A and B are shown apart, each in its own frame.
Chain A
Amino acid sequence: MALFAILTIICGLLYPLTVTVIAHTLFTDKAEGSLVLRDGQPIGSLLIGQAFLSPKYFWGRPSATSPMPNNGASSGGSNLGPTNPAQIDAVRMRIEALKRADPGNIAPIPVDLVTASASGLDPEISIAAAYYQLERVARARNATIEEIRGMIARLGKARYLGFFGEPRVNVLALNLALDRAFARTGDADPR
């Protein structure tokens, strides 16, 4: 009984507190959630995906969280199985939304752009998924395709040594870079 109490205090209080102190000393930003600031205000985390729906932004992975997508307070996937008609309907609807935003695009859609992520908060998309949206974003921003492609190249990550990690780019970082490089067109921004 007393031993249980001793081990509880060590593992349940001393251990997490010690780790917190060390983590904060060494990696303050990361321990606090890798927040991104704009004009001094936190506008998200590099690790937590946000939903983007307008043509001028790159769209992230579909999210199955409720009530709204990319709900940070309630992570999770769709849990739909591959033979479930609901899963196939969901993919169909995502394809339609992408086509509506970019009717001229007839390229095959990369699979990660029409399937829900595991956490519902995936902050990244594949490079293929970014390329698929390239023309749409360039058009909406009055930018050249080369300019936008350069941004993807700068912010994207390749497979390390050809096998480690996946080719991907952070959606929030990419969209913030877009906003910085080009005027925030198309809507009246109160800020």
Chain B
Amino acid sequence: MTAQSLVILLVFLATLLSVAYPLGIYLAKIGEGTPIRGLNWMKKTENFFYRLAGIPLDSEMEWKDYALALLVFNTLGALVVYAVQRLQAWLPLNPQALGNVSPDSSFNTAISFATNTNWQGYGGESTMSYLTQMLALTVQNFLSAATGMAVAYALVRGFKRHFAKSIGNFWHDVTRSTLYVLLPLSALFAVFLTSQGVIQNFSAYQEVNLVEPLSYQQAKTGPDGEPLTHAESNRMMESAIATTQVLPMGPVASQEAIKLLGTNGGGFFNANSAHPYANPTPLSNFVEMLSILLIPAALCFAFGRMVGDIRQGWAILGAMTVIFLTMTSIVLVAEQQAHPVLQALDVDQAPGELQPGGNMEGKEIRFGIGASALFAAVTTAASCGAVNAMHDSLTPLGGMVPMLLMQLGEVVFGGVGSGLYGMLIFSILAVFVAGLMIGRTPEYLGKKIQPFEMKMASMVILVTPLLVLGGTALAVMVDAGRAGILNPGAHGFSEILYAFSSAANNNGSAFAGLSANTPFYNILLAIAMWFGRFIPIVAVLAIAGSLAAKKRVEVTAGTLPTHGPLFIALLSGTVIVVGALTYLPALALGPVIEHLQLHALR
């Protein structure tokens, strides 16, 4: 790791914590529904919306009603995304006259955006009309993130309340999260991004004359538009000359802002946040990374305040930060390594004053190694999945870390809301393990952890590995699965493992060489995304309901303190051990083997 990379990492963490702390105070107020000074007019608007929608102003829900409302709301969201894609050719704001999206791709994308995964099976600029980007995709970027926040608030209320039947009102939580948090922050970020050069317009794509005409080879196509093949499937090539370049346009900044703040990650462009129109400068990149982790980090502080003990929030954040620092360091070191074959070809890969060096395949020069590796860790620690470098071209170990960060269950900061509730489930597991060791009934935040909570927590923790490993196994066994692979050997296996890790953990980034826009992957990954999102959510709400009904037990000398370094070590240890036990065999078959192969190359 270069000194420069280390400085970026530390400056980034320091900035993140200092911005997240005040936001956490605000988020706690949103969750508690306390009035906020100066925002009375917002409260009036909010109440006006409830009256318009026929939602009672002061009723609360039991956990089952809460879960049902959540599922209905998100199913409706998925249906709308599906419908808009299938009808976009006939709808307005489609200057490129893009056709309707295929049924299986629309299905995949609908599930993907409703589950906060935002896996991109499609190439944005060549598939989605402006209306689809706004009315279908941007809307779900907000609402799926608000759903995550709602679940986190509900779980925190479960710890906070006693002898209570209800855990809050889903409609209120979603509306407040959207109107008070996501919307104003996104607008602010979006305007900042345009100041850096991110585009925001409704023009058609522009065609400009190139400074130097470009001759290139392209596949000859027959009258049916399919590439002609010659004897042994060699494509017949012909020369062509391009004198113009098409510049994509569109309302990018508004979508880019919420895509990162909501840990969504589905980009306007195929190249996602590597595209210069989506992430044009080192400063825009820094702010984009901050906005990915901002709300997940702030929610830890909000949690501490809401349960009345800020140290509890620090402990959760501490465990997340320890894992994050370790993992990021590995990517930073791995990506700075010289490729042995390129070294033999006399390519200069050494970092210095004039160049970043290292593995620059699939990276942009303005981000270099440090800001690309950090982004890769940030986006997979959070369940964001936006990328500013092509993960498929990362070094074997540099690509393994993002994979592992997802496989840990997206709890290292994690998604908006889902990171906090996921980590609290691991806290429950950690106190349970500690309870077994010291022979006491486990307690967390004054609530006894009993068989029902443990059953639900196990379900949350086990359902994603089942989807990831089961899905990967199925895909490598059938032709339709293997057909999608781009890179041969161990790397090809990594592509599939990455895809299912990303889908089931609702991340959305990819080893994008995998041709996943096929009916097989579109459907299988959609299944992984849906169940990887909503089975844990329902189980978490069940825990919230059960905890809320319990009495609060007093802290005694025998209570295990759940703040401080001991608990941080216990919690981060639990996360790592569970993840490692589950995934090491699979990782050994992919990135580990490839790492050994790479360094055997000459």
Contacts and interface: CB of A to CB of B under 8 A. Distances in A.
* A, B bound: yes
Interface of A: 1-4, 6-8, 10-13, 15-16, 18-20, 22-24, 26-27, 30-35, 41-54, 57, 61, 66-85, 87-88, 91-92, 95, 107-112, 114-129, 131, 159-160, 162-168, 172, 175-176, 179
Nearest to A75: B271
A73 B347 contact: no
B363 interface: yes
Contacts of A87: 361, 393
26 contacts: A2-B52, A10-B179, A15-B254, A33-B201, A33-B247, A42-B209, A44-B245, A46-B197, A47-B276, A72-B245, A73-B248, A76-B123, A77-B274, A77-B362, A80-B486, A82-B359, A82-B594, A110-B348, A111-B355, A111-B358, A117-B274, A118-B362, A165-B281, A165-B368, A166-B282, A168-B365
Interface stretch (B72-80, B456-464, B470-478): B72-80
B552 interface: no
A166 B50 CA distance: 50
Which of A52, A115, A128 has its CB near the most chain B CB atoms (within 10 A)?
A115
Given A11-B139, A123-B276, A167-B353, A30 B348 contact: no
A191 B11 CA distance: 50
Interface string B204-217: 01101111101110
A95 B342 CA distance: 10
B313 to A, nearest CB: 29
Contact of A75 (B187, B216, B269, B597): B269
A110 B349 CA distance: 7
A121 B276 contact: yes
A71 B257 CA distance: 25
A109 B347 contact: yes
B432 interface: no
B277 A48 contact: yes
Contacts of B389: 77, 118
- Interface residue range, chain B: 35 or more
Contact of A68 (B171, B240, B257): B240
Contacts of A42: 206, 208-209
A136 to B, nearest CB: 15
Q: Determine chain B's interface SS by DSSP, over half rule.
A: mixed
Given A3-B171, A159-B4, A166-B367, A77 B512 contact: yes
Contacts of B195: 26-27, 30
A176 B73 CA distance: 53
A162 B594 CA distance: 34
B597 A126 contact: no
Which of A33, A69, A78 has its CB near the most chain B CB atoms (within 10 A)?
A33
A8 B255 CA distance: 14
Interface stretch (B148-156, B295-303, B487-495, B575-583): B487-495
B183 interface: yes
Given A68-B218, A128-B352, A82 B346 contact: no
B286 interface: yes
Contacts, number: 383
A118 B274 contact: yes
B175 A166 contact: no
Contacts of B199: 30-33
Listed from nearest, the 4 A-B pairs whose CB atoms lie closest are A165-B282, A79-B513, A118-B274, A77-B390
B346 A109 contact: yes
Contact of B356 (A54, A66, A126): A126
A33 B196 contact: no
A75 B270 contact: yes
Interface in B257-287: 257-258, 269-271, 274-277, 280-283, 286
B143 interface: yes
B142 A74 contact: no
Contact of A15 (B183, B276, B367): B183
A12 B135 contact: yes
A78 B361 contact: yes
Contacts of B52: 2, 6
B216 A163 contact: no
B251 A19 contact: yes
A122 B216 contact: no
B354 interface: yes
Contact of B275 (A19, A83, A111, A119): A119
A131 B353 CA distance: 13
Nearest to B369: A166
A50 B8 CA distance: 30
Contacts of A34: 197, 280
Given A48-B245, A75-B275, A167-B355, A20 B251 contact: yes
Given A69-B214, A72-B248, A122-B365, 16 more contacts: A6-B53, A10-B183, A11-B178, A26-B194, A32-B201, A47-B280, A70-B245, A81-B393, A81-B494, A81-B594, A83-B598, A85-B488, A110-B355, A111-B342, A121-B276, A124-B364
B251 A168 contact: no
B557 interface: no
A1 to B, nearest CB: 7
A52 B286 CA distance: 30
